[in-house]
Amino acid sequence: MAGLQSRSAMSLPFSLSVAFRNLSLTTSKRSFSTTLAAQKTKTLPDYIPPYPHGPNYVFKQSNSGLYGGAMIQFGNKISQGRNEGKTRRLWKPNVRRKKLYSEALGEDLFIKVTRKALRTIYKSGGLDNYLLSDRPGRIKELGIFGWQLRWQVMQTPKIQEQFRQERKKLGLPEPPSFEEWVKNKEAEMKAQVEAETNVKDITKPTLSQKQY
């Protein structure tokens, strides 16, 4: 009897330790991930004309600021010590968040801009002049973010009045409104379809119908 009691006494701590060892206050699954989220490609709204060069799929970060065409540069680090050799490395663009004033919009804009693009903006005489330049090289370096900002600047009353004065000076006619342009475009597409399929609009009265 004494041997059974001593045996149960010896097994009691072991069973309690096993029971407490099986209990866990923390979950086995991790509630966070160290993997960086994939960057989404920026897209333009439907009411803005499409960007001719499209978004940057290689360096997606440049779609969210004025990078001036800057990209991540890759190269080699040459060691000059005892262990001479090459080590792959990269150079990231010098990006900073800068407050730039837009005269057309009448407000300060906090924009991610590279040092290269910032020098070009100062040299152009301001943010509006930098965005409104129609040179092919400037359009290409604007990126999808600069293209959207350029469209917003062009829609302001100040820039519209400036364009109106330039057209008047050059003797150019006023462009049609958006509703008129859509109406004319639909008429052209309808006429093209009728010419290709030889199908006329049955809603229009014919000559015989007009006589009756």
Q: Which residues contact 36 (CB under 8 A, 6 or more apart)?
A: none
Which residue spans within the chain are E strands per DSSP?
A: 73-79, 85-91, 95-102, 107-114
At 148-159, the pLDDT tens digits run 999 999 999 998
pTM for the whole structure = 0.65
Chain centre distance of CA 154: 19
Q: How much of the chain, in percent, has pLDDT values that exceed 90? A: 32
The predicted pLDDT at position 34 comes to: 64
Q: Which of 4-13, 44-53, 117-126, 155-164 shows the lowest per-residue confidence on average (mean pLDDT)?
A: 4-13
On the question of pLDDT at 9 being above 50, the answer is no
Are the CB atoms for 39 and 60 separated by under 8 Å?
yes
**Domain 60-155, CATH:** 2.30.170.40
At 10-51, the pLDDT tens digits run 544 556 566 555 655 555 555 555 665 666 777 888 888 889
4: pLDDT confidence band, cut at 50, 70 and 90? Answer: very low
